[in-house]
Amino acid sequence: MSGFNLFDAEEKNLEQAEDLRRHLLTAPEPVKDGINTLIEAYSRSVREQRRLVKVSDRLQAQLASVNQELGKRKAEAEDALESLKAAQESLVQSEKLASLGALVGGVAHEINTPVGIALSCASHLADSTAAMGKLFDADDISVEDFERFMATVVDTTGLILSNCERAAELIRSFKQVAVDRTSSERRRFNLGAYIRETLASLGPHLRQSGHAVRVECPDGIVMDSFPGALSQVLGNFVMNSLVHGFEVGQSGTLAITVDRPAPDLVRLIYTDDGKGIPEEHLGRVFDPFFTTRRGSGGSGLGLHIVYNLVTGPLGGSVTAESPESGGTIFTLTIPLAP
């Protein structure tokens, strides 16, 4: 912007003042002096205004360049944020891949044992059968030969069966790990009623154990979610309490408490007052194949499945704690409608 046009009127005034000064050459001294002072003051003020306009122009130009700089910085920051998001995304992906890799490695490792045993039993059986065949061809089977052969058959087939069952069981649990969103049915259900139904379905195990079971759930919480996933989660918690929480013959209390930390969230706190989980295990209980019962039926997939169900279809989070005073606490926080 230029100050030129802005000062047209002032320029004219100054010219008129100069004219006036010429006309007043004959006027008395005090009038001339007064007019001169006025004209001086007026032209000083016009100079000052011009200076101010220049300053303001300069400031505006600076402001414009600062604004431009700011715009550039903002664009840079947005770009940086974009690439950060992309980096985060790929980190999450590689984390997923890594944990999938660990899972597959774990499955191979776990299944290796029973399949290996079944295989060597089968080959032992094949050898014994071939030897028996030869004796039969030579018509040279003694009663002892036959008895030994029968004992081998019974032992090896027993081992083959139990180890194949173990492998099949591992594969079954492994299949559950790959939670399929579409395979489980989504529907509306009353949370309190559903928790009680689930516990009732676990009745036989619970009754035998002699533990007390407490449920505290506000009435009228209706969820639009995956009830099958929820009952699988609760089932795992309860079975874990029974298997890991207490010594045989010892009985305690299992409790489920529900509240709503926000209008669209439910928090489900599952506790038992058993042995608890040692501090050094707490960070690993959700890992696939982490179990303190290897060799006596534990595959270590239970809580991993829980983790996948909660963070997958149920769309929430789950934590494990074990206070100094003992017992185990699992806290689920899940949306009413994921």
Ligand X SMILES: Nc1ncnc2c1ncn2[C@@H]1O[C@H](COP(=O)(O)OP(=O)(O)OP(=O)(O)O)[C@@H](O)[C@H]1O
Taking CB under 6 A as the criterion, the residue among 125, 202, 230, 303 binding ligand X is: 303
Asked if 272 interacts with ligand X (CB under 6 A), we say yes
CA distance 65 to 61: 6
Residues 123-182 that bind ligand X (CB under 6 A): 173
- Residue 31 and residue 24 in contact, taking contact as beta carbons nearer than 8 Å: yes
Distance CA 243, CA 299 (A): 13
Task: Choose the stretch contacting ligand X; rule: CB under 6 A; options: 56-64, 159-167, 261-269, 297-305.
Answer: 297-305
Tell me the CA distances in angstroms from 169 to 52, 261, 307, 321, one per residue in order.
88, 39, 20, 29
Q: Which does 54 bind (CB under 5 to 8 A by kind): ligand X, Mg ion, none?
A: none
By the rule CB under 6 A, 298 interacts with ligand X: yes
Work out how close the CB of 279 gets to ligand X at its nearest, in angstroms, rounded to a whole number: 12
315's torsion region: left (phi>0), alpha (psi -120 to 50) or beta? left
253 phi/psi in degrees, rounded to 5: -125, 130
Find the binder of ligand X among 277, 318, 332, 334 (CB under 6 A). Answer: 277
- The whole-angstrom separation of Cα 328 and Cα 324 is 10
Q: Does residue 240 interact with Mg ion by CB under 5 A?
A: yes
Under the binding rule (CB under 6 A), the answer on residue 241 touching ligand X is yes
Residue appearing with tokens 């499945």: 305
Residue 245 binding partner per list ligand X, Mg ion, none, with a CB distance cut-off of 5 to 8 Å that depends on partner kind:
ligand X
Interface mask (CB under 6 A) for ligand X, residues 175-204, using x and -? ------------------------------
Cβ-based nearer residue to Mg ion, 90 or 292: 292
Instruction: Name which position in 114, 245, 276, 302 contacts Mg ion (CB under 5 A).
Output: 302
Closest distance to ligand X from the beta carbon of 111 (Å): 14
Helix axes 8-23, 29-137, angle to 10 degrees: 170
Among 301, 314, 318, 334, binds ligand X (CB under 6 A): 301
Quote the least distance from Cβ 327 to ligand X, whole Å. Answer: 8
Place of tokens 């595959």: 299
Give least dist CB 238 to ligand X, A.
Answer: 9
CB of 215 to ligand X, least distance (A): 17
Q: Which is nearer to ligand X, 264 or 279 (CB)?
A: 279
Burial of 77-106, coded b for 16+ CB within 10 Å and e otherwise, reads: eeeeeeeeeeeeeeeeeeeeeeeeeebeeb
Please count the residues of this chain forming the interface with ligand X, following the rule CB under 6 A.
Answer: 25
Kindly list the distances between the CA atom of residue 331 and the CA atoms of 59, 76, 111, 147, 306, in Å, as whole numbers in the listed order: 59, 41, 32, 58, 12
Query: Quick check: 245 binds ligand X (CB under 6 A)?
Result: yes
- Choose, by CB under 6 A, the member of 192, 227, 302, 313 that binds ligand X: 302
Residue 277 interacts with which of ligand X, Mg ion, none, CB < 5 to 8 Å by class: ligand X
CA 83 to CA 77: how far, in whole Å?
Answer: 10
Strands 317-321 and 328-335: antiparallel
- The whole-angstrom separation of Cα 183 and Cα 77 is 42
DSSP state of 243: I
Does position 291 interact with ligand X (CB under 6 A)? The reply is yes
Binding site for ligand X (CB under 6 A): 173, 236, 240-241, 243-245, 272, 274-275, 277, 281, 285, 290-293, 298-304, 328
Binding site for Mg ion (CB under 5 A): 240, 302
